[in-house]
Each structure stands twice: as C-alpha cells, then as structure tokens.
Structure 1
Amino acid sequence: MKTVLCFGDSNTWGYSPDLPRRYNENERWPMLLQQHLSPNYRIIEEGQNSRTTTLEDPYAPGKKGLDYLLPCLESHHPDLVIILLGTNDLKSRFNVTASDISKGVARLVEVVQKFEHAFMKSPPQVLLVSPAWVFELPTSMEGFTGAEEKSKQLAHYYQLRSQELGCHFLDAATFIQPCNIEGIHWQADQHAKLALKLATLIPTIMR
C-alpha cells in the first residue's frame, strides 16, 4: 500500500465558493483522486482552512503549516506528500513577496525530505504544487488586496525551489481557475480536473 498525504488549505479541505458548505467525498479533489487510483494507494486528506506555509496569522491562530507538518508525518508515514499551499500567504496583512512565499513552502519540502523513521526505508517523496491564481474582484474575499499579481508569480518561484530541492513540481494555474465570482476558492469541476491530473502523474512518481 502506497500512502499519499495531501497537505493543503481550504482548496484541499473542500471549501465551496458559492454555497456555505464543504464539498462532499464525491466532489473534493483528494477523495476523487482516491477513486481514480488503484486500491494500492491510500489518500490522506489534510486540508485546513486559512493554512499558511510558515506565517503566523495574528487573527487566526493555529494556521501555520510548518507547525503541524512534522506531527502529521509522524502520524501517517506517507510515501508521497503533495504540498498545495501559498494562497493564504498572499493575504495583504502578511506583506510578503511571491519569492518569500516560495521560500516558506520550501521549508515544508525540507521538513518532508529530512523526515526519517526506523519503519521507513527512505523519506517521503514530495510533489510541490503551485496554487491557482487569485482573482481580485468586487466580490473577492476581504484581505487579498494585491494578491492577484503575486499569485501569477508563484509558479516561477515554486519551480525554482523545486529544482533547488530536487522535488517534483506541478503548476495548478495552468489548468485550474478559482470561482469567477468569488476569486479564491474552486468550483467542483476544478477539483475534478486536479484529481484527474494527479491520478495520471502520481503513478509516474511512485514506481
């Protein structure tokens, strides 16, 4: 059995942009991915609303991904970790550049790559996913002023970090778009797109 940990934010958790609910197990991408892969794979959902990479949110404690990643690895001993974070780092209150955000997510990659346990032959592999763009719209969620332009720069820097660290890379913005009314979260058809893409990619990583 090969275990895949999906470590992300609200777009991994399944936050619906147009209805006050969480997508169900037949809608959100990690569970769709489970359905597309063979029974030899076990998908672990680890999405959290407002999760950042390494930034401490003064208004929402407990959201820093770096603090939770190591305990999560120790709980699940995954063979592959998919890291899909960075959107919340775009919030204007953090005032960081796209390059800074990529360095934050690189810290998470390093935690995974350095994780060792006597029961594991080697550390997990990492697939670093650069998030979809954010759209600044009149109805966009509060707190993302200036986020759209930064979001368009993330893939460049994420790819640089993946090359430096020797991990796998995927640019979600090439095929995923947020809701064109809300601007941050993905509609169900976008979850389906990501699941299909990953279902094709993962077997090539975990041979």
Structure 2
Amino acid sequence: MSILVFGDSNSHGTMPLARLGGLDRHPPDARWPVVMGRALGREVVCEGHPGRTTLHDDPIEGTHKNGLRVLPAILESHRPLDLVVIMLGTNDCKARFGLRGWDIAAALGKLALAVQGSTAGPAGAAPDVMLVAPVPVEEAGVLAEMFQGGRARSRAIAPALREEAERLGCGFFDAGRVAEVDALDGVHLGAAAQTALGVALAEAVGARLG
C-alpha cells in the first residue's frame, strides 16, 4: 500500500529558523512522514514544499507555492496511491492572505475534492484522503511579523476542518493534539514534535487503512 503526504515545510522537515532564509532540515529518519511510514511498515512518498499554500498564489514567494496548482501532476507522478494525507494551511495563516480559519478549511476541502476526482488510486479509482489540521502557530521570532494574527487564525482551522472532512467523507486528524511548534520561530516543529506527530499519525492512518 502506498501513501502520499502532501504538505509544506513541516512535512519537508524544515528546522526552526533563527534567521530568515534558513534551509536546514531534520535528518530523514527524524521527519514525521518517515517516522509514520516506519511505524506502519508501508511506503510513504513525501511531497513537502516549504511555503506551500492550499490554493493561493503567493504574491511574494511565487505561484509555484500554490498547492492546488501542482497537486494533479504529483498525483499522476506517484500513482497508484491508496491514501493521500494532506497537511497544509500553515502558510495560509500568513498576514498577507488575510484568511479566516473557515476559509483555510474550505480550501483544504478543495484539495480533497481534487484527489477524490482523480484516477490516482488502484485500478484508476480515487485514493482515500486524510485531512490533517496543522499544528497551530505562535507569533514568535523571525516569523512573528509574517504570521501576525496567525495564532488565532490557525486555532480556528481544526474545528472547521473536522466538519469539512466529515462532509467529504475524508479522514481527519488534529496535529495540534499531539505536537507544538518550536518557540524559536513559532511555526516549525522541533525533533520531538516531528517524532510525536509521526507516531500519532501512524496510528490514525493505520486505523483508516484497516
């Protein structure tokens, strides 16, 4: 069984930033998708892109950050897939987008619909989908101004996304229940949080796949 993780810098394994533009990553074995795959004993393909939004062209970082724009090609590249785990929404919390938690949840729903309408699953069917509410951000360090207002905005995603997942028949997981962002930059996960998230999602995904 093959699983695709479609996410942003926290799936990529970006380490908490002491300065803007930092490119350091956690070692592969410490990144949550790898932790999850090891616990499940299943193949996990990770497509984590720093700065990725749900479906918004970033006016500063570029149109290639738009998740909905690149998702169809990624699905075709990695099919057949049994499950697509989507953990996005953190970058939608940037002040430049001015979104509400409900807006972000609805955008994640659009990504789920794109997967459900694809032929990327076994025998040309659609893969199953699990929507993961991202770990809420704090306004701290070098990213504080970029994520101004993000603390409240990010905490509104999970309850709205739970309803959206139920409406679409997707799995749901709230990453904020098991992990916290690192205080250094208020956005990225430290090593312990990466491990905790990978272990918890292994249990949730395992239950979803049966």
Q: TM-score, normalised by structure 1?
A: 0.93
Once the two structures are superposed, the pairs formed by residues 53-132 of structure 1 within 5 Å of their partners are: 53-61=54-62, 62-77=64-79, 78-116=81-119, 120=123, 122-132=125-135
Q: What is the number of residues matched between the two proteins?
A: 204
> How far, CA to CA, are the matches of 2:121 and 2:86 in structure 1?
24
Contact in 1 for aligned 2:115/2:127 (Cα 8 Å): yes
Give the AA of the match of 2:56. Answer: L
Which region of structure 1 is more displaced relative to structure 2, 101-110 or 197-206?
A: 197-206
Q: Give a deviation string over 1:156-198, Cα, whole Å, max 9, x none.
A: 1101110111100001111110002210000011110111112
* Shift, 1:131, TM fit: 0.5
Unaligned runs of 5+ in 2: none
Contact in 2 for aligned 1:140/1:181 (Cα 8 Å): no
* Shift, 1:102, TM fit: 0.9
> How far, CA to CA, are the matches of 1:119 and 1:162 in structure 2?
22
The two structures, once aligned, show a CA RMSD in angstroms of 1.6
* Shift, 1:34, TM fit: 2.1
> How far, CA to CA, are the matches of 1:118 and 1:169 in structure 2?
19
Q: 1:117 to 1:159 in 2, by over 3 A?
A: closer
Q: Give a deviation string over 1:121-175, Cα, whole Å, max 9, x none.
A: 5210001000011111255444111010011111011011101111000011111
**In the alignment, which residue of structure 2 is the partner of 1:11?**
10
Query: Matched residue of 2:28: which SS?
Result: coil
Q: Give a deviation string over 1:65-124, Cα, whole Å, max 9, x none.
A: 001111111111111000000000000111111111111111000001111269625210
More helix by percentage: 2
> How far, CA to CA, are the matches of 1:4 and 1:69 in structure 2?
14
Percent identity over paired residues: 34
Q: 1:118 to 1:173 in 2, by over 3 A?
A: closer
User: Does the alignment pair 1:170 with 2:154?
Assistant: no
Q: 1:42 to 1:17 in 2, by over 3 A?
A: same
Give the AA of the match of 2:60. Answer: Y
Contact in 2 for aligned 1:141/1:184 (Cα 8 Å): no
* Shift, 1:203, TM fit: 2.0
> How far, CA to CA, are the matches of 1:170 and 1:157 in structure 2?
12
Unaligned runs of 5+ in 1: none
Q: 1:135 to 1:119 in 2, by over 3 A?
A: closer
Which region of structure 1 is more displaced relative to structure 2, 189-198 or 115-124?
A: 115-124
